[in-house]
Amino acid sequence: MLNKKVAIVTGAASGIGFSVSEMLAQSGAKVIMADVNEEKLKESADQFGQSYYCADLSKRESCKSLVDFALEKHGKVDILINVAGIQTVSPIEEFPEDKWDFMISLMLTAPFLLTKYVWPSMKEQNWGRIINLNSIHGLVASEFKSAYVSAKHGLTGLTKTAALEGGAYGITVNSICPAYVRTPLVDNQIAAQAENHGISKDEVVSKIMLQKAAVKTLLEPSTVAEVVKFLCSDAGNNITGSALTIDGGWTAG
């Protein structure tokens, strides 16, 4: 389906980024997997024979060098999937200012820069797919997540603006807004919450993490990857500027 397409996936060493990279590779794309964890990244890329590039995307020069690497290796970029991100929970008055700067750089500035740098290649081909792995927190807020929520809300705005600018050139830009996904990071959060509250891991998921959702089960990374696959297919040609929710009904009420 995606034969001869060239894709960049950030945050690709594990979790959602890994599943998306695997799906793209299985669909015939040439994938450049990017992450800051070089050892884990190489191990993941070797599993299905794809290229990798170690980069700290909170730094402007690393965003440019990643795209340059892809262009030098393959001559073009067709697909950009922005996944890389972290989450820190802290009240605003206690939130470290340097942590704010880092999170905004990684989760909002980096997607903008990567979009900017791949844009000429996509425009020249009159085809492109940019998908921002957003969050339900790109649409609604939760307390103690000021930097994460701010970055994700900004990503929603960036998605819409880029979609309007890209339509004339065959470039679609969308964001995917899931509730909690079963990744190593989330598994660690569940274990910590269970210990802190003295409840089971299942209760953490249903009573704390997904308290606002109608369907109280965690998403799997492969589910998110399937939505990415759909948006990259011909069926996604007219879907742009959207924030696709996979939230178990979180925002229905």
Assess whether 169 carries a catalytic annotation: no
Q: Is residue 251 part of a domain?
A: no
Mean pLDDT of the chain: 96
Report if residue 177 sits inside a domain.
yes
What long-range pairs does 46-52 form, CB within 8 A, spacing at least 24?
Answer: 47/22, 48/21, 48/22, 49/25, 50/21, 50/25, 52/12
252: in domain: no
Cα 153 to Cα 28, 71, 76, distances in angstroms: 32, 30, 29
Catalytic residue, chosen from 52, 117, 148, 180, is 148
> pTM value?
0.96
> What band does 192 get if pLDDT is binned at 50, 70 and 90?
confident
**Residue range 150-181, pLDDT digits in tens:** 999 999 999 999 999 999 999 999 999 999 99
Strands (E), 23-122: 30-35, 51-54, 79-82
Q: 12 lies in which domain range?
A: 6-181+219-246
Number of folded domains that form the chain: 2
Reported as a single tens digit per residue, the pLDDT across 211-232 is 999 999 999 999 999 999 999 9
If 0-12 CB within 10 Å is exposed, 13-18 middle and 19+ buried, where does residue 158 land?
buried
Over residues 27-73, the pLDDT tens digits come to 999 999 999 999 999 999 999 999 999 999 999 999 999 999 999 99
pLDDT computed for residue 249 by the predictor: 96
CB 79 within 8 A of CB 7: yes
Instruction: State how far the Cα of 227 lies from the Cα of 224, in Å rounded to an integer.
Output: 5
Q: Note whether 92 and 191 are same-domain residues.
A: no
